A and B are shown apart, each in its own frame.
Chain A
Amino acid sequence: MIRIADLKKVYRTDEVETIAVANANLRVDVGEFVAIMGPSGSGKTTLLTILGLLDSPTEGEYYFLGNDVSQYSEKQRTALRRRNIGFVFQNFNLINEMTVYENIELPLLYMGIGSSERKAMVTEMLEKMRMTTRRNHLPQQLSGGQQQRVAVARAVVGRQRLILADEPTGNLDSRNGDEVMNLLAQLNEGGATIIIVTHSTEYASWANRTVQLYDGHLVNENVTRGVEDVLELR
């Protein structure tokens, strides 16, 4: 599903040039559950923004569903991202002025899905997340765990095939953390590809595979060049 080759991301500010990710090679196949680990500042979030098509790499190749997207314009990346990728954040990032229902519905609006279908999809998702009774609440009225469940719902409601999560359990206690990890695991069983950044070795062990980042370098990752997934782009 994803393959990056010799990927490099450099941040330039006035005085310093930070190499956040250096010569990274990684391959993630459809249906995998990958955990990324590494010390603070090692480039985990940076890698995730590139994988998530939020940012473009400074150098290197990035094949997403078989297409080299490293040179895509922002507009092209947006179009691709909106249908295929869902995000879950440490700090939830729900829109405070919108209800639970509206937050979950939002990506479907951008996908251009018709209203009755949309309603069905959101309702189904609310049930799945056991949030039906809270559909008209605003995010502030929910506990952290509940907010994160809404965020997960929003990430997958449009049947996105890749879920990227940056320390999704970071702001949660262990009970809520476990619950969110359970959800992700279920989604993975349902066919979604999941990449998660975490500091917890315990949660990392839920994944099929763990990759380590040190100072921008990926460790223990071998990628065979030249073989691409043959998957149709949505």
Chain B
Amino acid sequence: MFWSYVKTIFRNISSSKVYFFINIAGLAIGFTVFTLIMLFVLNEFNYDTFNRKADRIYRVVETQKAPGTKAQQVAITMGALAPALASGFPEVEDAARYIPWSTVLCRYGDRQFYENGLSFADSSFFQIFTFHFIEGNESAAFDGPYSVVIDKSTARKYFGDADPIGRTLSIQAGLDQNTFQVSGVIQDFPRNSHLHFNMIASMNAVERHSRFFNGWGNNNAVTYVLLKNGYSPEELEKQFPALLRANLPADSWNALEMHLQPLRNIHLYSDQILYQVNYNKGDIDYVRLFVLIALFVIILACINFINLTTARSAIRSREVGIRKLLGSYHSHLVYQFIGESIALSLIGLLLSFPVVEALLPTFNSIMGGRIIIDYNNELSFLLMLILVATIVGLVAGFYPAIYLSSYHPVELLRGRFSSSRRGIILRKILIVLQFSVAIGLVTGTGIVVSQMDYVYSKPLGFDKNDLMYIPLHDAESRNKIGLLGDRLLGNPKILAVSAGERTGAGRTQGPVSVLGTNGRSRLLVRESYVDYGYEKTMGMQIVEGRSFSRNFPSDSASAIINETMRKILGWKDAIGKQIEMDNGRVFSVVGVVKDFNYSSLQHKIDPLVIWLDPGRCPYLLVRVAPQNMQSTIDFAGKTWDYVLPNHPFEYGFVNNHLDNLYGNERQTEHLLALFSTVAILIACLGLFGLTLHTTEQRTKEIGVRKVLGASVGSIVFMLSTESIRLVIIAGLVAWPTVYYLMSRWLQNFEYRTAISAWIFVLSGVVVFLVAMFTLSFQAIRAGLTNPVNALRYE
């Protein structure tokens, strides 16, 4: 019986190859997209889970409610916190400070590189997180104060095949001592971790340098806590207010709250945290969006299956009738058809594997290369896919199975088999659904593209183009700013040179005390340290007063503020107003700079103060002429090598740096574009199949009409009007939904474009034209056939 059935399936397939192909192709495309997205999604959820104690590890997050700013969360906390937690609380098994350092110059013999993966940590860090020591071990790693543990690739980079243990690396971290002794070698830390480093040095080295890192007065370290088995984070959190109260002055502790963030949440649920260490940070909203898209694509493929199978059911209904007549039970036929659709779905899955394999590298590069295939979990992933394919087969096959098997053998006697009219309403609804998704995705893509366009082209308040930056990693290089500037300006292609932040302000905020119109107030401000000529080089505009000048020796005690700050303080005339720092130094305002966006346009502009302090400038900034850029870069490199022969030359361009701030958004842009194409493709495959089917069904009718004098145009029109109507309805369904969803997405941006109507119209038109093209292919062919041929088939 089974084989008789399988045989008919195969003969059915070969007698309707096109439809089979459309079904299978739709399913394969659906599974390809689904698998790719699931690889990404599972990967996102797997961040940090390789740590054996992951369930007991927490990060301390602080909520600050400073006056003048919105309450904000930071995951950088007081240096004294970890030691206090480790010693004074029975719930805590261990706690560790972790400080990622800035880029440093690192040297062994004649090998020297800039390293941006240097971190300092307490030795308990090795107990909390999971490391694989190749040499050395967790407990002895930081026996000496200037010990450093490096990963395998770094060891190879500096020492080749030699044994690294006990060798000294020169690390220019600006601490008391530059020589660090290698005390351990670890396997490279997994990339699906929110932590990212290749060298971890002992916190001791930092503490010896400055008591700053041991106090309660500054937030400068990430605090990780390992709770003992069986203790809940809430119990510990309850004790935080008392701890803060005991150690902080009154105006500080009541403006602070602390809580524990589970390690597993750090990667995906940290969007609201302003300052944190979070390498490759993800976003649960994007994960959800992608899961939604994956489901959509699968549903689209299912719809094709349902539509084509029910439309073509007339062809198989005779078989069903005969089988029933000869004694098959209704339920058996249902099982058989569902089985058939599950088999088909599994074939689609199988076909998707090589496609996934081929597309994975491209997809991964769109996703920022963060998908790591975990071969340990491959089997369970495969089983998950098979399960999903089975469910898809079941869902897609259910209605057609019920529908097909409902043919009554009495119909055989009455010879009625053109009943493909049945279920036509459902088919229409499903087509509308398909095209709604397609139009929705295209419209969404259009809105994302237009917002990104807006973001890239909005004037920021300074000129981001043709602006080169060269990192200044240490005091030695900062001392040479003047000399470098003089030499660089010797090249006519170099228009201006200064030093300071790349985008106008750094990532740090600090408190200042000012006398505004409402009395004295404390204010958190963005800090920016610059050299002479900064505003000119950046292309910023001074709207009141002047910029720093060598003609005013007192400018080391001057400050420039931005318009936002002037507005918040309600100053009519800002010049001469006083700003007091926490350490008691007083600066007087000499100028006001026109507001500029120093960060991505997702953020609004905060109050900002610019100080003159070349010793704290992180970048040399070089405004270059747009022509012949490469030779200018070469010139800058040579000049640098001449002035600072011991420092490798590095550079970048500010506009690229700014573009990189929108990594997630760009990913979304690319993926949405990709998935809308896939959605259109699947929907059109279905439409193609259905049109082919209708035209086949109506061959005779078309022939008769042509004999009666119908023109080709009128035939094409007759065959297309219905589908055109459905696509228009689909647009009407999709647009409000998309409008709502995309308005929400745009809320992420402090600065955003208006959603303009033409995007809706345009995306509708695009999908419509593609659908028309698909349709007309069949319709025109039908219209052009000689009616005699059509009528001969009786």
Contact = CB atoms under 8 A, between A and B. Distances in A.
Interface of A: 45, 48-49, 54-55, 74-75, 78-79, 81-83, 87, 89-91, 93-98, 102, 105-107, 109-111, 154, 166
A45 B330 contact: no
The 5 A-B pairs of least Cβ separation, nearest first, read A82-B327, A97-B11, A110-B327, A107-B326, A97-B8
Contacts of B321: 93
Interface in B413-459: 413-415
Contact of A93 (B8, B15, B408, B412): B412
B409 interface: yes
26 contacts: A48-B413, A49-B410, A54-B409, A75-B329, A78-B324, A78-B329, A79-B327, A82-B327, A87-B412, A89-B413, A93-B318, A95-B8, A96-B318, A96-B319, A97-B7, A97-B11, A97-B15, A98-B4, A98-B7, A102-B4, A105-B4, A106-B323, A106-B326, A107-B327, A110-B1, A154-B326
B412 A98 contact: no
A98 B413 contact: no
A90 B4 CA distance: 25
Interface string B638-675: 00000000000000000000000000000000000000
A197 B330 CA distance: 28
Contacts of A94: 322
A6 to B, nearest CB: 22
A106 B413 CA distance: 19
Contacts of A45: 413-414
Interface string B330-343: 10000000000000
B556 interface: no
Interface of B: 1, 4, 7-8, 11-12, 15, 318-319, 321-330, 408-410, 412-415
A98 B329 CA distance: 20
A200 B259 CA distance: 95
Most chain B beta-carbon contacts within 10 A, residue among A79, A89, A106: A106
Contact of B4 (A55, A78, A106): A106
B322 A110 contact: no
A44 to B, nearest CB: 10
Given A98-B8, A107-B326, 4 more contacts: A74-B330, A97-B11, A107-B327, A109-B4
A82 B319 contact: no
Contacts of A87: 325, 412
Contacts of B326: 82, 106-107, 110, 154
B322 A93 contact: yes
Nearest to A87: B325
A36 to B, nearest CB: 13
B76 to A, nearest CB: 71
Contacts of A166: 413
Nearest to A83: B327
Contacts of A98: 4, 7-8, 11
Contacts of A154: 326
B723 to A, nearest CB: 29
Contacts of B4: 98, 102, 105-106, 109
Contacts of B11: 97-98
Contacts of B15: 96-97
A117 B319 CA distance: 24
A91 B322 contact: no
A164 B474 CA distance: 101
Given A54-B409, A78-B329, A82-B327, A102 B7 contact: yes
Nearest to B325: A87
B407 to A, nearest CB: 12
Contacts of A79: 327
A105 B3 CA distance: 13
Given A78-B329, A102-B4, A95 B319 contact: yes
Given A97-B12, A109-B1, A109-B4, A49 B327 contact: no
Contacts of A93: 318, 321-322, 325, 412
A95 B322 contact: yes
A131 to B, nearest CB: 18
Contact of A111 (B322, B327, B412, B413): B327
Contacts of A81: 325, 327
A54 B318 contact: no
B313 to A, nearest CB: 15
Contacts of A106: 4, 322-323, 326
A54 B415 contact: no
Nearest to B324: A78
Nearest to A109: B1
Nearest to A166: B413
A162 to B, nearest CB: 14
A45 B324 CA distance: 18
A95 B324 contact: no
A106 B5 CA distance: 10
Given A48-B413, A89-B413, A110 B328 contact: yes
Contacts of A96: 15, 318-319
A207 B90 CA distance: 103
Contacts of A82: 326-327
A41 to B, nearest CB: 12
A55 B410 contact: yes
A49 B330 contact: no
B318 A49 contact: no
A96 B14 CA distance: 12
A91 B415 contact: yes
A78 B319 contact: no
B419 to A, nearest CB: 15
A96 B7 CA distance: 12
B329 A54 contact: no
A126 B15 CA distance: 26
A97 B319 contact: yes
A82 to B, nearest CB: 3
Nearest to B321: A93
Nearest to A86: B326
Nearest to B328: A110
Contacts of A90: 415
A81 B324 CA distance: 10
B444 to A, nearest CB: 44
A109 B6 CA distance: 14
B672 to A, nearest CB: 43
Contacts of A91: 415
A65 B330 CA distance: 24
A91 B414 CA distance: 10
A50 to B, nearest CB: 10
Contacts of A48: 413
Which of A74, A93, A97 has the most chain B CB within a 10 Å cutoff?
Answer: A97
Contacts of B323: 106, 110
Contacts of A102: 4, 7
Given A97-B11, A106-B4, A89 B412 contact: yes
A97 B9 CA distance: 9
Nearest to B10: A97
Nearest to B412: A93
A78 B318 contact: no
Nearest to A106: B326
Contacts of B415: 90-91
Of the listed residues A54, A83, A91, A102, the one surrounded by the most CB atoms of chain B closer than 10 A to its CB is: A54
B298 to A, nearest CB: 30
A54 B327 contact: no
B323 to A, nearest CB: 7
B314 to A, nearest CB: 13
Contacts of A74: 330
Contacts of B412: 87, 89, 93
Contact of A54 (B12, B322, B410): B410
A97 B326 CA distance: 16
A102 B1 CA distance: 11
Contacts of A97: 7-8, 11-12, 15, 319
B617 to A, nearest CB: 81
Contacts of B330: 74-75
Contacts of A89: 412-413
B566 to A, nearest CB: 78
